[in-house]
Amino acid sequence: MRKINITLSLLVLLLGSMLSSAYGQQGDDQVRIFNTVKTKLAEGRQVVGGTVSTPDPDIYCAMANSGYDFIWIEMQHSHLGYTDVARMIWACKDAPAIPFIRVPDATEGAIQKATDIGALGIIVPMVDTAEKMENAVKYAKYPPMGRRSQGGGQYGALWGRDYRQTANANVMIIAMIETPEGVAVADEIAAVEGVDIVFIASSDLGSFSGRRQGDPVYESLVTRIVDETQRAGKYIGGPSAWMTSREGYHFFQGPGTSSLIRTGVRVTLGADDPCRFVASGTAPVQGEDPCP
């Protein structure tokens, strides 16, 4: 009987080892990491993402190749559909910026589609409970960590044939706290296993609290999120305007395309026009940049 028990124990251990290898449940140092945002954060660096809410692949490619670490694809406050976003990501599949998607909500369908089309970051808005983030992790991760199902998608063509074995270590989950209710349970949200970043939604936090930045009440809400996130050992995110004015932040949402176009126009029409030394009447050649 003792021999049988020992044999069964060895079989269980062997099976567990085989499953761990097959489903990529090793430590991150043993899994191929292709999400460069994750590696940069692990190195202690700050990362910034430009925001895209238009379906034009050319605009997406311009943003993805401009120097941003990731692209914040806006699907909560835009008319973008998953077919649009799939085409955008595929159009610049070799761009250095990693595609992150702010999904409309933490539903199984929304997160499944976002990961299937190749997003390596899932940004969840309006997080007021830890349960919402537990669901987000569950839907974004393959078993045994979650319950993401296998299906069709362009993820394999984007990230490699070993995607199934490496996805759990590469797909990042971001929780956006936007309300006083979310702040009240920031410790529970940050403590959810699988949540990588807690993002402070500066504008909505002001909208829902009725306080402006600089107000002691507003700042106490921000401080509580920061403290609880740091206590949980997670990264803190915020708007790019906070990049140089507040300490402890590593993940930033940059401006949207409309804002960047306005800024570019003002530069080219003003004294800082980088093309001001181009000979008068000389037109740029299409496809070339005459003003490096």
Mark whether 77 is an active-site residue: yes
SS3 292: coil
Cα 164 from Cα 59, distance rounded (Å) = 30
Q: What is the CB neighbour count within 10 angstroms for residue 219? A: 12
User: Number of helices (H) and strands (E), helices first, in the chain?
Assistant: 13, 8
Q: Peptide bond preceding 57: is omega within 30 degrees of 0, i.e. cis?
A: no
Q: Specify whether the CB–CB gap between 117 and 157 falls below 8 A.
A: no
Active-site hit among 45, 77, 266, 276: 77
Q: What is the signed CA dihedral for 24, 173, 70, 43, rounded to 10 degrees?
A: -70
Listing DSSP states for 174-236 in one string gives EEEE-SHHHHHTHHHHHTSTT--EEEE-HHHHHHHHT--TTSHHHHHHHHHHHHHHHHTT-EE
Which residues have C-beta within 8 Å of that of residue 82, sequence separation ≥ 6?
A: 113, 114, 117
Which residues have C-beta within 8 Å of that of residue 195, sequence separation ≥ 6?
A: 133, 136, 137, 173, 174, 175, 189, 234
Encoded tokens for 71: 């692209």
Catalytic sites, residue numbers: 77
